[in-house]
Structures are given as C-alpha cells and as structure tokens.
Structure 1
Amino acid sequence: MAPSAPRGLGTTGRKLWRETVKRYELRTDELEILRAACGEADIIKSIEEALVDADLTTTGSMGQIVAHPLLSEVRQHRVTLASLLGRLKLPDEMGAGETNQQRGAAQSRWAAAFGTQVS
C-alpha cells in the first residue's frame, strides 16, 4: 500500500505525492525528499497564483524599475524542485527509443499537471 501524503500539503503537493508513490516504491529517505519536493510544488503554485494579476515590475529603492521580487523567488523554488526530484533518481518510464519530441511532450504534460517544468 502506498504511503499517505504528509499532513499540510496543498493540492499540488498531494497530487505530486500520489502520482509518485503510485508508480514507485520509495525508501524512507526518498520519501523525505519527495515530501520536500511536494512542499516546493505547493510554494511554486502559490507564487504563480500571486503573480497572475501582479505587475511584473516594481519600483526599486532608488526609483528604478526592477523585476517583481516573486519572479526571482519562483525561479529559485523551481530550481530547488528540479534538484529534489533529480535526487530521487526515478527511472525514466519512456522507452529507450523515445525521441526528444516525445520527451518534451511528456515534460509539458508534467508541467501542466504540477505547475512547473523539470529539465
């Protein structure tokens, strides 16, 4: 039986958890990495929602136009999520002969489902 999602995860994190533990049997240390990744996925989703209606620039301390601070934050969280998922070293479910186009399509579906992109 697959382990239940940890308490406190949001919708995006729970979905990532369920889809992962449904396909793979993970060790305790890997479950902890997955838990952290699910938390990152929730943070990314929250930041992306906050940016939907936000201006992408703001005024800096010296009156200059600067990028919205959440843009940098979401980028950093995406890097963290990609790193955590990479540490799981899950086997590629696609066949050995998949094309770059097929891999790209699969990654696009994953990004749409979990609100981020892994490269």
Structure 2
Amino acid sequence: MFLNPIHHITIDALDPYKMAEFWAEVTGYAIHPDDVEGDEEILLEPGQPGVPGMLFIRVPDAKSVKNRVHLDIQPPVGTRDETVERLTGLGARLVDDRRREDGSGWVVLADPEGNELCIERSAAERAAA
C-alpha cells in the first residue's frame, strides 16, 4: 500500500497571502476558503487526496541565501516556454536559463520572494522529442 506521509510543503513568507496567490497560479491549487489576506498562515489545497498541500507561514525575515530545496514544475498543459512567460508575467524572475538547442533543459525562476523553482518541459514536449 502506498502511503504519502507528506501533508504540506511549508514555505516561509513575508506575505503569505501574496505568495499563496502566486503559487496557486503555478499549481492550480486553491486557497483554503477560511484563509484571508493578513492571516499568519495560508494553505493551498491540491484538491486531490494524497497530494501534499502548500502552507505559507509569515516570518519576519526575507530569504537571503539559495534554497536547499526547490520545486520542479512540469506544466500539465502548454509548454515550458509558455509557462516561463506566464510566471514571469505574474512576478517571477529569471535566475538561470538552462534550455538547450535541442529543446531539452529547464529554466530556473524565483518566485516573488526569491524562492527558486525550475520549469521543465511538459510531458507532451518530452514525448515529442
């Protein structure tokens, strides 16, 4: 029997609601209906059993060094490049472009508070390669 012991992925944030709004756009998760702007903790719910939620907790200090853990995002629809464009339009910042001429590779972005995430090719792009 498969058990997923991870309940939440917790991210420290200066502005938990703003971060949850950004990551809701990245993941398609929904902000918990009881959570509102100004709360100390904001939960994103995946809407699927067994999938960890994302919990944003207010902290007083800004991110100052490279993440020890980051999320790799594989777009469920569209392409890697469309996703990079969409997320930078939402406030993400380009950190490193690891795309290769053959279409492989990934893009490292930082969310609005500087946490790194990688955007990989979609499953459709991988299948077409």
TM range (shorter): 0.3 to 0.5
TM-score by length of 2: 0.33
Q: Which has the higher helix share?
A: 1
TM-score by length of 1: 0.35
Larger RCO: 1 or 2 (CA < 8 Å, sep 6+): 1
